[in-house]
Structure 1
Amino acid sequence: MTAWHTDGATAPGARPDVSRSEPPVRTDPVWYAAYGSNMSLARLRTYLRGGKPAGGTLTLPGCRDNADPIRSTPLLLRGVLYFATESLTWTGGRAFYDPDCPGEMAVHAHLLTTAQFSDIVAQEMYRVPGADMDLSDAIAQGTMTLGPGRYETLVCAGTHAGYPVLTFTAPWRCRDVRGNPPAAAYLRYLAAGLRAAHGWSARATAGYLATRPGADRRWTPEAVHALLGDDEVVRRTYEETAPAHAPTGDSSSESR
């Protein structure tokens, strides 16, 4: 997909190895492939440490281990980002991932312990965190269904740097659900994460987000670009709360 890069920008994200002929040697930690508001570290920290994000309505309990990601890196997954249902946090459409829809989705992958990933999944499912998940079926088969609701389907997109790349989404397909445009506050978090991870300009980011299914029912690239405002304001949404090491995936930062 090249339609997002309206100003000649290119996405630097790598694509994970999707071969499953050999199981990954290491299964803890794992990459959490965030494609919604958790692309922004400021937002992810409300899942790790607990609290309520700016613009949100729900207060989260946090994870047992509230440390920042070991490292973070941009990745590109096969499939498409779309928006549907109604978020209790943002009062607009939620972000979902359809891995079987033609296209490419930009993510910010965070290297977390299995316990942290398990606690984030539990909070996304409105469950009480505190129990480690058995991720072996998702890693071996590429998907695992935990329940019928949104964010109750785990997807393994392959491996990156020897660790499995995992995320969660709904069990339905993009074409099977009515799209719902996301709220402005939600889009700002997505934009901040994309800008920080992939280095896109505000205009390229706006073009990507506005053309995702569901978002296109309300938003245009021009409207999202106006929402984001100055590139530096969007970037600071992430950078002011970023860890001391740069989230580039450099091996020198692979320690807490």
Structure 2
Amino acid sequence: MAELVWYVAYGSNLHADRLRYYLAGGQPPGAARVYPGCRDARPPRRTAPVFLPGGIYFALESLTWTGGMAFYDPALPGRAAARGYLVTAGQFADIAAQEMARVPDVDLDLGTALADGRAQLGPGRYETLVSPGRLDGHPMVTFTAPWACADVEPNPPAPRYLGMIAGGLAEAHGWDPETVTDYLAGRPGVRGHWTRDAVADQAWLHELHTSGGAGTSPENAPPNHNCQRTIG
């Protein structure tokens, strides 16, 4: 099994400060949970902006944020903006355990996911592993639900949760507020519940206007961090 993997975050862990609570433990501002942290609390070796084939959507109800949670569906059209964190396989297992509100004390067998591109470890909302390719010689892996976007009723995310994702997109990809707004407003669970203007009017996007975030759109982003699709 690979010693180092890229944990690919597409939700609130796009934001590096948020991920630190999964690594070192603690209670993030605005969250209802206290995270125990990883057995190995070292920071990621590297980070990189990436795009995954497919898209994200919001569904179910978050116990941490309230509102819908972000899930990744490789079958959706387009590309999902994400962020890779180069961590040990053990750290990835501990992050996944905490997403399922479990004690981070067991390593995962990533062999099937890395070989086949997908592995369902259980019925839970983040117990399906997807490995969409490799980056700089290391496998990429993320977790999502076993179902597809079309199989579940969309549910709009809480503003604070969407704000954390917005900040992570600006931080990881250098996107300006307009690009962040366009991307989030088009996601299932946001689209049809919030108008683009409603997304743009959120206070957290106004904060991005003064943070210096500026960058490329999903369509025009540099291709050097695009992962190679190996699913299906």
Consecutive unaligned residues of structure 1, counting only runs of 5 or more, are 1-25, 237-248, 250-256
- How big is the shift at 1:221? 2.2
- How big is the shift at 1:131? 1.6
Deviations 1:35-55 (A, max 9, x none): 000000111011111111111
Amino acid at match of 1:31: W
Deviations 1:179-232 (A, max 9, x none): 000001101110111101111101110110111001113222222222111325
Please give the secondary structure, in 2, of the residue aligned with 1:217: coil
Cα distance change of structure 1 residues 107 and 37 upon mapping to structure 2, 3 Å threshold: same
Query: Is 2:91 the counterpart of 1:113?
Result: no
Please give the secondary structure, in 1, of the residue aligned with 2:18: helix
TM-score (norm 2): 0.87
TM-score (norm 1): 0.79
Cα distance change of structure 1 residues 51 and 79 upon mapping to structure 2, 3 Å threshold: same
Which of 172, 180, 197 aligns to 1:197? It is 172
User: For residue 134 of structure 1, what is the aligned residue in structure 2?
Assistant: 109
User: For residue 81 of structure 1, what is the aligned residue in structure 2?
Assistant: 56
User: For residue 31 of structure 1, what is the aligned residue in structure 2?
Assistant: 6
- How big is the shift at 1:67? 1.5
What CA distance in whole angstroms lies between the structure 2 residues aligned with 1:201 and 1:169? 27
What CA distance in whole angstroms lies between the structure 1 residues aligned with 2:210 and 2:36? 29
Query: Is 2:17 the counterpart of 1:42?
Result: yes
Consecutive unaligned residues of structure 2, counting only runs of 5 or more, are 214-224, 226-232
Contact in 2 for aligned 1:49/1:63 (Cα 8 Å): yes
Deviations 1:158-191 (A, max 9, x none): 1010000100000001011000000011011101
What CA distance in whole angstroms lies between the structure 1 residues aligned with 2:212 and 2:95? 24
User: For residue 253 of structure 1, what is the aligned residue in structure 2?
Assistant: none
Contact in 2 for aligned 1:180/1:217 (Cα 8 Å): no
Within-5 A mapping of 1:15-30: 27-30=2-5
What CA distance in whole angstroms lies between the structure 1 residues aligned with 2:29 and 2:155? 21
Aligned CA RMSD, in angstroms, stands at: 1.6
Query: Is 2:208 the counterpart of 1:231?
Result: yes
Give the fraction of aligned pairs with identical amino acids, expressed as a percent. 52
- How big is the shift at 1:34? 0.1
Cα distance change of structure 1 residues 235 and 174 upon mapping to structure 2, 3 Å threshold: farther
